[in-house]
Amino acid sequence: MNAQRILIQRIEDREAKVAIIGMGYVGLPLAVEFASAGLETVGIDLNEEKVTQVNAGESYIADVPSIAVRDLVETGKLRATTEASALAEVDCICISVPTPLSKTKDPDISYIVAACDMIVQYFRPGVLIVLESTTYPGTTEEVILSRLDVGGALVGKDFFLAFSPERVDPGNEQWKTRNTPKVIGGVTSRCTEVATALYRHAVDTPIPVSSPAAAEMVKILENTFRSVNIGLVNEIALICDRLDLNVWEIIDAAATKPFGFMKFTPGPGLGGHCIPIDPLYLSWKMRGLNYETRFVDLADKVNAEMPRHVVMKVMDGLNDDGKALMGARVLVLGVAYKSDIDDVRESPALLIIEQLRKKGADVVYNDPHIPDLSGEIEGDLRSVALNEEELARTDCAVVVTAHSAYDWGWIGEHAGLVVDTRNALAGAGGKARVIGL
């Protein structure tokens, strides 16, 4: 029996062992799904704290309940380690490491390369390797495959390689790892077949495509679609501001059209690991092919300007009250990149705080999900209590993230000036003077 059939049989018999390299927002939920399906799973991460928590049955991801982790650890289906040597014992490896941008907005694939080096060190024939980290089209074959030239092993025969982009949406109560369709593209048809056999245990609906590059492009398209449309509606917000129109009224009225319109809403800027970053992978890739990604670049430019627009709104609002921004106390409400999560990756709140500080404002923040911003921003900045006293001494409150825990009616009653970037106080009433985008 060839390596493909042997591995598929081991997967179907739940004898295959799985390793997840990178136990963050993607890796831990995926590891839990594989382990829940009966596949012995090991998470590999250099962060000792994460490893300790997993092995203690504790979850550090809000979407993954600790009881699920604890049950799987106690039954021996899930464990974590910092040791790459665990790769020598597994049949399937999923790479779910970060792929940030450098300061020059070029892809930083150093974490992928490091994961490949780990795999090569403990490589054995018959293994399946799947990259989940979002990256530019061509990465799986140009970067990973080129590094897996181990002892003349042939892809599709002696080992199997595929790309399957993560589609994690933190805080989404409806769509989780299990019920979100999973795109899978193998280097060869055999690679796709093996990877699909594995993911059938973790997801309800595998979606095979023709190649890793096709799967990589699917992910880029999904997030570029959102980035461009958010860029469009952010520009509409800027236009409405100059025309003295309420952008939220305009959008809500347009959304009553039952065809040909999809509702997007403006905001203080893009956040999260995907939407602000993924389209720029495509821009970088196409620059090397002498092609200008005009829509992508323009959307990025518009979205990147929104934090500055918010700061100007604060400045104008304070000016109308006869106050200067320098020395004013500004309270930022919500610093997570989206509501009801504890993730500040690429959050526009960080840029807004930084720009307000540069202009001399005394900036504090409140976020029920993020007690401090240690390591995210310069200085020791911790969430302050949200009470009448705090609002009374605040010159301007800025709604950046509309967490459901906030009582907008209460905030509207006790705040003075509010710059509301999320239309959260619409209809809330109260004495506050509210300025929109």
pLDDT in tens, 371-421: 999 888 888 899 999 999 999 999 999 999 999 999 999 999 999 999 999
DSSP H or E segment with residue 158: none
Q: For the stretch 94-115, what's the b/e string if a residue is b when 16 or more beta carbons lie within 10 angstroms of its beta carbon? A: bbbbbbebeeeeebbbebbeeb
Catalytic position from the list 116, 191, 240, 274: 274
Question: Which amino acid appears at position 49 of this protein?
Answer: E
Q: Give the Cα separation of 195 and 34 in Å (integer).
A: 13
Average pLDDT, the chain: 95
Query: Is-catalytic flag, 274?
Result: yes
Q: What is the pLDDT of residues 156-210, one digit of tens each?
A: 999 999 999 999 888 888 999 999 999 999 999 999 999 999 999 999 999 999 9
Amino acid identity, residue 22? G
Reported pTM = 0.91
Helix (H, G, I), strand (E, B) or coil at 150: coil
Identical topology for domains 3-210 and 248-435? yes
Token pair for residue 151?
């002892």
Average pLDDT over residues 105-109: 86
Among 322, 325, 346, 326, which Cα is nearest to 401's?
346
The CATH number of domain 3-210, selected from 3.40.1010.10, 3.40.50.970, 3.30.830.10, 3.40.50.720: 3.40.50.720
CA angle 62, 65, 70 (to 5 degrees): 135
CATH architecture for segment(s) 248-435: 3-Layer(aba) Sandwich (3.40)
* In the predicted structure, residue 275 carries a pLDDT above the cut 90: no
Q: Sketch the domain layout of the chain as residue ranges.
A: 3-210, 248-435
pLDDT of residue 1: 61
Residue 304 vs residues 47, 308, 346, 401: alpha-carbon distances, Å: 31, 8, 11, 17
Report percent pLDDT > 90 for the chain.
89
Decide if pLDDT at 116 tops 80.
Answer: yes
